[in-house]
Amino acid sequence: MLPNSIEFYLFLSMLLVALAVIKNYQTLILLMGSAAFIVTSQFAILPQMLVILITYYGGYFVKKFPEKKRILLALIVFGVLTQLALFKYLPGMLLPLGISYYSFMALGYVIDVYRGKLQPTTSLIEYVLFVSFFPVITSGPIIRARDFFAQIKDPLKITSENFQQGLTLITIGLIMKLVIADNLALYVDPIFANPMNFQSRKIILATLAFGVQLYFDFGGYSNIALGTARVLGFKFPMNFNNPYFAMNPQDFWHRWNISLSCWLRDYLYIPLGGNRKGEGRTYINLMITMLACGLWHGATWNFLLWGGYHGVLLSLHRLIRLPDNRILSLAGILVTQYLIFFGWLVFKVSNINNLEYCLSKFLIPTGFTYVDLAVGSTIIAVLLLLRTKIANNNWMSHIGSFRPIYWFLYLLIAINLIYWASPVKVTKFIYSGF
């Protein structure tokens, strides 16, 4: 049951009715709804149950025995990461959907308890719901336990404001996925299926198209997930903030998959020492963090290489300090995006021979016409001129705050766009494989 299928929204409608009618058992209803979603989506239950048992009781014992909390935390982290490695990276094992997301969410809970930032929950039902919350379980965002438990304590309010804002996020997410990402896939997939059949121009255009496809696919899912949660009465931070307007590699990771980059910062980079132990140690910590980010995406060598590549970019950005002026800022945007899209080739192509071929064609462009250059330059110029307005404007929230008559008009346009401009075939979200 994918969030881009009709079945998902029939399921959500029935759940909303149940929550509105049976107000005294909302947590239990949400848990039953999440369980139904997991079963109908053919999730593997065993790894999730292992994570729940290890971290729920682990958090309790960490709090109860503070003198032994370090060794207890080490055992919990080892247990969760071991099951994650077995199910995700062992050849021949079936990858359970959402395992990377709920494993990191559960680890964040235990670490927050260890640090004294969160009291362990006494409700097993609430904890199971947190780790299996259906809007985010498949592909995130990675929500924090303190944000979730703070909101589940109060009765859920299915208000007109939440409904309008949530449905706005959902429809924008569907447009991003179905209208933009899936149509781009029709161009991208045949080229990368056998890239050696194509020359430089096609490889470069397919790489640019893949970077846009990946953003709209994953960003679309994140908007649908956050919109679904908002309709149910939950409000969580956005997971993307116009990443392709980033001015440097660090700014990119402040804007791309924010929940994962913040998790890695708070639970890996800072505990390793962050930037507090000298320049050399800082670069090592950046590399370890980004290599872990690559491994989080998958066990294939290209993901590890992609993570290391971003570790190098972040280290170089920290090493090379340029004066702050408008010209260098604009140049920084162009250079950053060139490097980001170059990295997407490594992310996309796992075959070593194909990757070598694609990288060579990307680095030495050939076959472009004057029309290509004129169109490309115009697009870049317009985006740079509009950067401030686009990058710093929360336009999705503005649409969700329209007066009802204008919002219904938006909704009508959005539904027609989704219906008429989407490919017939329903496809999985790219990040559901991670």
Q: How far is CA 277 from CA 116, 269, 270, 284, 313, in A?
A: 24, 12, 11, 11, 20
Alpha-carbon distance of 54 to 60, in angstroms, equals 10
Alpha-carbon distance of 426 to 411, in angstroms, equals 21
End-to-end CA distance of the chain: 17
Q: Are 184 and 137 in contact (CB under 8 A)?
A: no
Q: How far is CA 424 from CA 176, 183, 420, 427, in A?
A: 15, 10, 9, 9
The verdict on whether 297 is a catalytic residue reads yes
Candidates 297, 310, 317, 398; catalytic one: 297
Alpha-carbon distance of 217 to 161, in angstroms, equals 26
Task: Tell me the three-class secondary structure of 230-247, residue by residue.
Answer: HHCCCCCCCCCCCHHHCC
Alpha-carbon distance of 253 to 251, in angstroms, equals 5
Q: Which two tokens stand for residue 383?
A: 């985006």
Looking at the chain, the number of H-run helices and the number of E-run strands are 20, 0
Region at 367 (left for phi over 0; alpha for psi -120 to 50; beta for the rest): left
Q: Helix crossing, 279-297 with 301-319: angle to 10°? A: 150
Q: Which two tokens stand for residue 266?
A: 């708070």
Rounded (10°) CA dihedral 107, 108, 114, 120: -90
Supply the residues annotated as catalytic.
297
